[in-house]
Structure 1
């Protein structure tokens, strides 16, 4: 500080001099002129708390001539950083410069460090038509630098002692202008007014306080970084903020406003909140399409509107304030722990969770989770009785180039109040677009344990998914990570236990990722859909199974035609494996006196068919008989033909005789003779050598008959065919010798 503090009111000569400078620097040029200019680029954030839904950033060029222009860059042009030397060409209209080309020459300044000592000079200024002095120098000094409760203490806490402020407060200075919203004029005149008292080379942050905002409607302004202003002490490389002096009668407002505008000076944008229609986070890979952004919506960061909160995780990362290991990048499933946000330690305080790579924008999307505790100035964030303390707050970033801004997520979006928007222990959020799920589990001391799952934490499959009732299906529980110590107990449920029953739980053994279980289905009358659901740590997955009524699909008989009195084999076939304990199929015969079947046949468990015996009785004429099988109300039948006996064979004994000696023929039927007997026609191919009766009758129940053969004397050996006929003719050769 210089010796000999100058009077706050300027002398008339100084006033005239400054007025000439003002006219020279800010006089209106001719409109519409094309210019090529060089100078220093500066961006200023306008803070009108609680108003608007977009961030107002005004860009300026301090030309080498001393004139300052409000510049407008064309869409897509890369914006320089505050303090960069640039060359531009474009069109001037009043104090506005519409840029056509821009060349960035870089910045030779010492940079804009966000750590270490920050040296502040605070100037209290009023106007020649409003000389109000509504706060004292000592009061303002206390709000900035008091060792117990001030902006300095706030920044030390928030930065883990990586940044602190020192400085001086001077004023009041009456600027030689009337009230009117012209912050850059105030900036230049305030420096000139204070130059006799202040060695500006000893400072790198400037804060100008004026009563009632000097006629402006904002709460404060802040440059995004540092720039150079020439002073009597040489170049003054600094950031600049403007604020309302009346706010500094309140320590609360003073700290909140100072840390807000000071955040802009370090390059931070506003802390927003974000909302999507009907969900906390919108579709993936759309660059935030559909998002409704509230400009000052983050109620947990002083870069939002009027609150005590420490800067959000993305902004602290940008400021390089975190200690080693304070930010944990999460790309794999697991349980992670975060410490208190203001606890000065070397354990994670932020989980930077990968949502995915958005192919359409070629950008990564991230979610930042942390917890607030009633620590330091964060203790004032006790909304709803501390609802958010010990819970997971989330910030969503979908633009890689917007890290200096941040977007608070509201998980209780339905009530429109972000102040209760954290995920509390036991609650779970699952991203419907990426299957990422987040579940705060519990707290131990200051540590919050959070389960992060990429893809479903637990899933379930069934094989097959379409079955006949009464069968069992193998289900499988699948985890997306190995089960922990003592295994993972997964809950299982059925939407219709009477149709498909499951165990209440399935244990996935320690170190394993899956475990099987049985789903037992019951016989159903109609096609039935059942949902099998598994749940672990409030994460659910389900599989649909379809149960088809078990039914008989067909009956067959083998052979299809059988001689009465003989047996046939029937077979019933089901549309699926038989149920546990087997499935009993009812049987019946259209003509049980002709073809008899058992009352039922059992298809063994797991089999799809079973056989049964059909017993027939002899008949004089072939008859058709339907064999019926019934199961679960479904009836099927097959037709069996029961035939009358036919001659199946004939044997001669002996088959060679001397003429005049007898022989016999044994006639064999295909089945027992029916009631009344069966008449068989007999014949000989040469009755002069061997003769038989014209017919014989096989007695009921018998299947053969012995027929006498009479032979006659021959002079030479003769061969005779003995024939027996009933629908079918069979023959046997008889040799007659001399």
Structure 2
């Protein structure tokens, strides 16, 4: 099991000692990545809300009037994709607190053209067909529309937060990553951003990169673990059934485990106070994670990372 020990001296974090995995040691590869996540003034679902427990989900398979025979996935394959792959991702990220359950309906051929971008019409017509099939939409918290390519740009879109039922539009792709990303919006998550501060560390003149956190499924391009701050806001951490965030209360040594661990006795991140926002009066924090090429972070390719996530208003 990997460990990293961090020294806090007058509010600054420096690396004291790092035991990397054997592949990284053999290759002599060590990267220190500094990544700042800018999340001020964004609303998120709370633990007492809809992000905990079973997510009753209806998946609809849709094509358009121009392509009624285009069915790139079977109902069984769609079920395995959403209630297998995507469900497994959220179960692991939430330490068993959040999971998907439901059914797949369709294929339905919509009286809508695939040459236009019109999700409201897609939703209205698909809902009408599902009701005609005897499906009670009110039984579901989440509806996911998986459709052949429409006239919209990008791979999908979704409603965010406490809109019920939430809607996710998966457009022209069968990617578990895209579905997991849009479902994250349904739970109340925004994009995982980054700050580009040039030669400075964190300042008030940084540029926000919308999908800049490339280590989080809510960024791009990989299906990495959801970041600490989001997990904290979802209610997935800091109890008897999940790992904890260690808060730095004074100068000293702080040890955290690799972020990918499912060991609920471990501290998987360090939360360091940055100060108080002069405009809101709220506390701001840095979040430190230690990531390795394990689980959904396999794309890290056997390198060891420590991520500084900061400027988060609490």
Match of 1:216 in 2: 152
1:337 deviates by: 1.1
- CA 1:162–1:360: 2 relative to 1, 3 Å: closer
Structure 1: runs of 5 or more not aligned: 1-54, 56-77, 83-110, 228-236, 249-253, 284-288, 401-738
Mapped contact 2:44–2:189 kept (Cα < 8 A)? no
Q: Distance in 1 between matches of 2:42 and 2:199?
A: 35
* Equivalent in 224, 234, 245 of residue 327 of structure 1: 245
Q: Which of these residues, 255, 275, 282, is aligned with residue 202 of structure 2?
A: 282
* C-alpha spacing 1:375/1:331, structure 2 compared with 1 (3 Å): same
Aligned length: 266
Q: Name the CA distance, whole Å, in 1 between partners of 2:259 and 2:107.
A: 39
- Equivalent position of 2:108 in the other structure: 173
Give the corresponding residue for 2:75.
137
1:468-487 CA-to-partner distances (Å, cap 9, x unmatched) read: xxxxxxxxxxxxxxxxxxxx
What stretches of structure 1 move > 3 A for 4+ residues in a row? 78-82, 358-361
| Structure-to-structure mapping, 1:418-567, within 5 angstroms | none
Q: For CA contacts below 8 A with separation 6 or more, give which structure has more relative contact order.
A: 2
Instruction: Please name the residue that 1:242 is paired with.
Output: 169
Q: Specify the alignment match of 1:351 in structure 2.
A: 270
Long gaps (5+) in structure 2: 1-37
Identify the match of residue 308 of structure 2 among 394, 415, 439.
394
Question: In the TM superposition, what is the alpha-carbon distance from 1:360 to its structure 2 partner?
Answer: 5.4
Q: Does the CA contact (< 8 Å) of 1:119 and 1:203 recur in 2? A: yes
3-state SS in 2 of match to 1:177: coil
Asked if structure 1 preserves the Cα contact closer than 8 Å seen for 2:286 and 2:311, the reply is yes
Q: 1:114 to 1:297 in 2, by over 3 A?
A: same
Q: Does 1:191 align with 2:127?
A: yes
| TM-score of the pair, normalised by structure 2 | 0.78
Give the 3-state SS of the residue equivalent to 2:259 in structure 1.
coil
The 3-state SS of whatever aligns with 1:318 is helix
1:376 and 2:290 matched: no
2:30 alignment counterpart: none
How far apart are the structure 1 equivalents of 2:291 and 2:43? Answer: 35
CA distance 1:81–1:310, shift in 2 (3 Å) = closer
Which of these two proteins has the greater Rg computed from alpha carbons? 1
Aligned to 1:266: 187
- 1:146-184 deviations in whole A, cap 9, x for unaligned? 3xxx11111111111111111111111111222221111
Aligned partner of 2:282 among 363, 376, 380: 363
Q: Distance in 2 between matches of 1:318 and 1:398?
A: 12
Query: Does structure 2 retain, via aligned residues, the 8 Å contact 1:272–1:296?
Result: yes
Richer in strand (by share):
1
Q: Please identify which structure carries the higher helix content.
A: 2
TM-superposition CA deviations, 1:593-641 (whole Å, max 9, x none)? xxxxxxxxxxxxxxxxxxxxxxxxxxxxxxxxxxxxxxxxxxxxxxxxx
Contact 1:368/1:395 (8 A) holds in 2? yes
Kept after mapping to 2: 8 A contact 1:363/1:398: no
Q: How far has the Cα of 1:375 moved from its partner?
A: 2.6
Q: Structure 2: how far apart are the matches of 1:370 and 1:156?
A: 20
Q: Whole-Å Cα distance in 1 between the matches of residues 219 and 127 of structure 2? A: 30
